[in-house]
Amino acid sequence: MSKAEYYEQVGVAMTCRSYGEYEKMFLLEDNFLNKGKILDVAAGASSFVAEANNNGYDAVAVDPLYNLTVEQMTLHGQKEMKEASEKLAKNISFLSWDSYKNLEEHDKIREDSFKIFLNHYNKNSVEKRFIAGTLPHLPFDDETFSLVLCNHFLFLYQEQFDLEFHLQAIREMIRVTRKGGMIRIYPLVGFKNERYPYLDELVETLNDENTVVKTADTTFRFVPAATELLTINKL
C-alpha cells in the first residue's frame, strides 16, 4: 500500500465528531444511554457530551487537551481540522463515503460539532463536563459509569502504542465502569486500514477478567476496513 493510499498521522490527532456519528459508530440506543452516567474517553473536541447533556443524559468527557484554555482550544481545533481535511482530500478514492455525501459534508459536520463543543467547553468552569486526563490513568472512582465510549484512539494508533498499553487502557476503562455496564470502542483498525493484529489475543485475555468481550458490526462507514466495534460487558 503506497503512502497515497492511507491517512498519514504523526502523533495523536484531536478527534472531533458529532452525536450522529457516535450513534452510528457505537450503535447507541436510548436503552444504553438511559442506564446511568456516560463517559467519553479521549473525546477531543467531539460534540457528543454537549449534545448528550442537552438531550437529558448525564455525560462527561476526558481528554489531555482539556488543560487548554478556550482560546487555545479554538486555535488548536481550527489547525487540526484544516490539516485533516487536506489529508482526506488526498485519499478520497481510498475512503468509503457511505456515511457522508462528500468531503464538504464531512468537513461541515466537523465544523458544526466543533462549534457545539466550544460553546459547552466555554462553560466548563461551572459545568465540569470536560475533565483533563490521559489513559491509562483516568481521574475517576471505581465503578462510576454505566457506559464508557472511546473513538479514534485505541487500535487506531497501533504503531505508537503496544499491546500492553492497550490492555492497561482498557482495564482502566473497565475499572471505572459499573458492574453490568458496557464499554464500546471504535474503530478496530489502524491508519493503514489494517485490523489491529493483536485483537484476538486482547479479547481472549480480557474475557478471563470478569468481562464479556465481543466484536459487532457498525452502521458507520468511512475507512473501508473499519466496519466493527468492540463491546465489553462488565460482569
CA distance 226 to 195: 8
Q: Tens of pLDDT along 9-27?
A: 667 889 999 999 999 999 9
80: nearest Cα among 10, 161, 150, 130: 10
Q: Which helix (H) or strand (E) holds 233?
A: strand 228-234
Starting at the edge strand found earlier in the chain, the sheet holding 130-131 runs 130-131, 59-62, 38-41, 145-151, 177-186, 228-234, 211-217
Non-local CB neighbours of 71 within 8 Å, separated by 6+ positions = none
Is residue 2 pLDDT above 50, yes or no? Answer: no
Of residues 91 and 214, more confidence is placed in: 214
The percent of residues above 90 in pLDDT, for the chain, comes to 80
Q: Tens of pLDDT along 73-98?
A: 999 999 999 999 998 898 888 888 99
34 pLDDT band, cuts 50/70/90, is: confident
Length of the chain: 235
As a whole number, mean pLDDT of residues 169-194 equals: 95
What per-residue confidence (pLDDT) applies to 177? 98
Q: For the domain bounded by 23-66+129-234, which CATH number is listed? A: 3.40.50.150
Residue environment code for 101-110, b if the CB has 16+ CB neighbours within 10 A, otherwise e: eeeeebbebb
Residues facing residue 150 across a β-bridge: 41, 185
Q: What is the pTM of this model?
A: 0.94
Q: Which helix (H) or strand (E) holds 52?
A: helix 48-54
Domain boundaries, given as residue ranges, for the chain? 23-66+129-234
- For the stretch 71-79, contacts whose Cβ atoms lie closer than 8 Å and that sit 24 or more positions apart, written own/partner, are 73/45, 73/118, 73/121, 74/118, 76/14, 77/14, 77/16, 77/45, 77/114, 77/117, 77/118
What per-residue confidence (pLDDT) applies to 29? 84
What per-residue confidence (pLDDT) applies to 35? 82
